[in-house]
Amino acid sequence: MSSINWKPFVFGGLASVTAECGTFPIDLAKTRLQVQGQVGDSKYREIRYRGMLHAMLRVGREEGLRALYSGIAPAMLRQASYGTIKIGTYQSFKRLLVDRPEDETLLTNVSCGVLSGVISSSIANPTDVLKIRMQAQGNVIQGSMMGNFIHIYQEEGTRGLWKGVSLTAQRAAIVVGVELPIYDITKKHLIRSGYMGDTVCTHFLSSFVCGLAGALASNPVDVVRTRMMNQRGGALYQGTLDCLLQTWRLEGFMALYKGFFPNWLRLGPWNIIFFLTYEQLKNLNV
């Protein structure tokens, strides 16, 4: 019973931090692509980046290589908290509902994924706000992570740190409710097919599929969430629905899929690194 209690939490956190470090510049490019082109905000009205690679090259050239890791501290803190709680609660909820992995169903896994996503993302929301602010503005925001945290709190209060929490929870519910169940189901079917065992190749294919599914399902919510978190004072968007409708009306439906390729190209490698690391940690005799 003790292994069920602590191993998924610790292994989930370690694997999440590892995956975050390996894919962070892609995530930064995604954020820059998502906040640009906002007609109602003069600061982000200009289309500066033509795509993920162009964004990474331009940021590195104009702001320095360190700018590609703007926001890495809150990102790692977020994964240490969000990833730990997400995987730990997901696995714990599953064990509460079914005794054996063989008895799991898609409905069971989706329900556990949605619930664990909402809980973990709501707790970790302030670190998400910090990460997005630092990614979007690069070298404009100076100081340490704690200094930026205090600045947001002083300027915007507690509400500023939990800005966009409903969207964060919705996105996490979608991402976790899609990715983790699809990984589990894909892995189970690949093993049951008889062609593949519980191997690294199986883990790789399963994580690739779940990354693509997660990107398709979550990108519109991710765009709205990023813009809501990045605005100050709430002058541009009056709420999440208003942000979605304004983005759609002023920039077109495909604006909701801004940053899709860097989102997918991040979620794909992120999930591959995460699940390969997590599965190896599970195999350790600790």
Mean per-residue pLDDT pooled into runs of 10, the chain (286 residues): 69 94 88 82 81 90 88 85 93 90 88 95 88 68 73 86 85 92 94 89 95 89 82 74 89 89 83 95 80
Q: What is the pLDDT of residue 142?
A: 57
Is residue 178, in this structure, part of any structural domain at all?
yes
> Exposed, middle or buried by CB within 10 Å (0-12, 13-18, 19+), for 249?
exposed
* 105 shares a domain with 170: no
* 157 shares a domain with 78: yes
Is residue 84, in this structure, part of any structural domain at all?
yes
Is residue 19, in this structure, part of any structural domain at all?
yes
Q: What is the pLDDT of residue 210?
A: 94
Q: What is the pTM of this model?
A: 0.74
Q: What is the pLDDT of residue 139?
A: 54
Is residue 256, in this structure, part of any structural domain at all?
no
For 229-273, how does the pLDDT look when each residue is reduced to its tens digit (9 = 90+)? 777 765 688 877 888 899 899 999 999 998 888 778 878 899 999
Domain that holds residue 176: 165-251
* 169 shares a domain with 159: no
* 185 shares a domain with 150: no
**Among candidate residues 111, 142, 163, the one where a domain is terminated:** 163
* 16 shares a domain with 43: yes
Is residue 257, in this structure, part of any structural domain at all?
no
Is residue 271, in this structure, part of any structural domain at all?
yes
Q: What total of structural domains would you count in the chain?
A: 3
* 186 shares a domain with 267: no
Rounded to 5 degrees, φ, ψ at 283 are -80, -10
* 42 shares a domain with 5: yes
* 96 shares a domain with 77: yes
